[in-house]
Amino acid sequence: MSRVAYVNGRYLPHAEAAVHVEDRGLQFADGVYEVIAIVNGRPIDLGGHMTRLARSLRELRMAMPMPARPLRIVLREVVRRNRVRNGIVYLQVSRGAYKRDHPFPPPSVLPSLVVTARSGVAPSASMVENGVGVVTVADQRWARRDIKSVSLLPNVLAKQHAKDMGAYEAWQVDRDGFVTEGTSTNAWIVTQDGTLVTRPLGHDILAGITRDAVLRLAREAGLTVEERPFTVDEARAAREAFISSTTAAALPIVRIDDAVIANGVPGSITRQVWDLYEGYMAGPGAEDWIDG
């Protein structure tokens, strides 16, 4: 089956889908995006993703490409046409196509909307069972990481460095030695007394939708949670560590740089968090495509 993409009002074969050469997403990275998990044909936390999309657009003074309900219909249709039961749907909004000039184009220029979907992006069973490694890198991104911008070059370079080093992810570190987040994930540790720790929200990290769900589920399960910065040294000495994201869920970390975490296998609290999130995706996290 050939894949199908949605581009500015048209469903097109994936190989033929394209935006204008002067689209501002291409020219300036002037756009935002969302990645939504699909489990058994249903979106996970769709409402949260739509809320975050609207916030990112507001922060960049960019218009929604269409009202929320039609947008949900487009997302559902792209998933249906690609026959995705378990995977992701990706949407990207740019400020539109206009002659290359730094100031915003006139209001008559409409935003561009691209939607794609594909199957099979979840961590392998081996990764969940055995855990993965991360490396640390200097955080070189811009100051508004709370906006889910398509400007991801520092993330790309950090992720490639992780791959070159045989690791799954890179944890980015601020000037004071504190971990901010991964290239596409939020960072967590479990202290020796069993407390879950993750960096608080602010302009320096993205408000992860999975992060929010994990916080809520952990607290409901009676786990102790702290939202505070933690250093690389604290992470290396942690009882456990994991990352969270739409595609990684709550994936165990067993190595940070050259330091083995605990005894080198996923810990009991991380496994509990994974199980809690799996149950969430099979239950209340799986939403209807059309609300109301």
For the chain, give the number of residues: 292
- Whether the CB-CB separation of 179 and 199 falls below 8 Å is answered with yes
For residue 98, what are its two tokens? Answer: 């206009």
| Cα of 135 vs its chain's centroid, Å | 18
Please tell me the distance from the alpha carbon of residue 79 to that of residue 119, in angstroms, as a whole number. 9
Write down the residue that tokens 């992006």 correspond to. 121
Which residue in 156, 24, 200 sits closest to 99, CA to CA?
A: 24
Q: Which residues belong to the active site? A: 148
DSSP codes joined into one string, 235-279: HHT-SEEEEEETTTEEEEEEEETTEEPTTSS--HHHHHHHHHHHH
DSSP codes joined into one string, 38-73: EETTEEBSHHHHHHHHHHHHHHTT---SS-HHHHHH
Torsion from C-alpha of 191, 195, 201, 204, nearest 10 degrees: 0
Please tell me the distance from the alpha carbon of residue 188 to that of residue 10, in angstroms, as a whole number. 41
